[in-house]
Chains A and B, each alone.
Chain A
Amino acid sequence: MSPRPRLDHVRRPELLAAAAAVIRRRGLENARVVDVADEAGTSAPSVLYYFASKAELLKEALTSVEKSFYQDLALELEAIASARDRLLRIVATCSGEGDYDAALWMELWARALSDPELAATRAELDGRWRLTIAEVVRYGQERGEFAAADPEEFAVLLACLLDGLSVQIALRDMEVTPARVRELALKLAERELGCELLEGARC
């Protein structure tokens, strides 16, 4: 037990998580330092002790959420034996079945249009996303599950499709249900990778 008050123990990761929660709830433009402090159970000055500015805090929060998403996904995929199931997992992540945070993702992408620093982060994270997909394709090809296809090209194709569909899911477009996203993505993958994904995936 530490004799010191909790306040002194609040550290960057906690504050980043708190900031992410605030951005999720209020949107980037309406997130205030005092909200982050409340969320983390500390005061605004101690938040600003760890971050040079509100902008820095929010920016870092946004990117850290995205980064941990990819880290968690990578670990999860590694534990899945077949490439087919790995691909199904990737698709499920984007079809509203996982806990993927489309609102924060969109904040990052939209803000990146006018912020060079965020643009660099966006490029890095998008590269990581495509690499994740490409690695699953290569893994499947090694195991003889997938036909020959250019892993990088397929990764861009699937990422583009899933991103476009994610937007429509985030907008709660009634036409685009998680089931439909799944079907559209898996059909595309079946055709490009010459494998069966939809059949067994239904149960």
Chain B
Amino acid sequence: MVRGADPRGPRVTGAAATERGARERILAAAVERIARDGIDEVRIARIAMDAGVSSSLVHYHFETREALLEQALEYSYELAGDVRLGPGGDAVELGSVRRLAAMIDQFLPYPGMLERDWILWVELWLRAVRHPEMRPTAARLYERMRAWFAEAIATGIERGELAPDADPDRTADRLLALADGYGVRVLFGDMEVDHARREIWAAVRDTLALPEQPPPAPLDPANPQG
């Protein structure tokens, strides 16, 4: 397609507000496409069509295909991070045991939204391994999740709800790695998500002095308050 050939392009770029809206729509469409087709198969023309914009507008916002795909992954994870870090899944009033269980659930690929996030997560790994410039993004996202777990554990210890001698950072590392390792196997259908959550629970149970079994899984783990 000839760049700028689409007559819709110039008109949509008119107002600044529309531009921001279009940029988000493009990112959201890219996220869906990456999850559906895999990052290598994604075509810009297809993303433009999904977003209801012209290819030239996509090129206007994102100089290269690489730039778009990388920003789409980042966008998805900032978004998922906001959901995960939002008041719903992180309610201190839940008590540390239930809060921790809710956090683990938000890291596992439950069917639907979290499964899509997971496919993108794996694409992000791969992207970051291949493209060193992508690594700071991935490292930052990991750091955020690690800090989130460590904070929840530290708070639990302070409140006397978790083992006083537990190391929040090391335990957060263990939880995060196990969530990735079990999560990807759930995604492949090696095991049920409920099995994964029980195994992860068991692996930190003694360290944190948790009850034998995790509290029941929420109906919608992406939205624990609902």
Q: Which residues of A contact B (CB under 8 A)?
A: 27-29, 102-103, 106-107, 109-114, 119, 122-123, 126, 153, 156-157, 159-165, 167-168, 170-176, 180, 183-184, 187-188, 191
Quick check: B38 and A164 within 8 Å, CB to CB?
no
CB-defined contacts of A28 to chain B, threshold 8 Å: 40
**If the complex has contacts A113-B38, A175-B143, are A184 and B206 also in contact, measured as CB distance less than 8 A?**
no
Give the dominant DSSP class at B's interface. helix
Q: Which residue of A lies closest to B172 (CB)?
A: A175
Q: Which of A103, A157, A170, A171 contacts B199 (CB 8 A)?
A: A157
**If the complex has contacts A28-B40, A107-B126, are A168 and B170 also in contact, measured as CB distance less than 8 A?**
no
Q: How far is the CA of A191 from the CA of B208 in the complex (A)?
A: 14
Give the dominant DSSP class at A's interface. helix
Q: How large is the interface on B (under 10, 10 to 19, 20 to 34, 35 or more residues)?
A: 35 or more
Quick check: A184 and B177 within 8 Å, CB to CB?
yes
B184 within 8 A of A: yes
Q: How far is the CB of B77 from chain A (nearest CB, A)?
A: 13
List 28 A–B pairs whose Cβ atoms lie within 8 Å, in order of A's numbering.
Answer: A28-B40, A102-B129, A107-B126, A109-B122, A110-B126, A111-B38, A112-B188, A113-B38, A123-B188, A157-B199, A160-B181, A162-B177, A163-B177, A164-B178, A164-B181, A168-B142, A171-B128, A171-B129, A171-B135, A172-B135, A172-B139, A173-B138, A173-B142, A175-B143, A175-B146, A184-B174, A187-B170, A188-B174
B58 within 8 A of A: no
B185 within 8 A of A: yes
Q: How far is the CA of A172 from the CA of B41 in the complex (A)?
A: 26
Q: Which residue of A lies closest to B207 (CB)?
A: A191
Q: How far is the CA of A142 from the CA of B192 in the complex (A)?
A: 31
Given known contacts A170-B129, A183-B170, what 5 new A-B pairs fall within 8 Å (CB)?
Answer: A113-B38, A122-B188, A162-B181, A164-B177, A170-B128
CB-defined contacts of A164 to chain B, threshold 8 Å: 176-181
Quick check: B178 and A156 within 8 Å, CB to CB?
no
**B113-157 CB contact bits vs A (8 Å, 1 = yes)?**
000000100110110111010010011001100100000000000
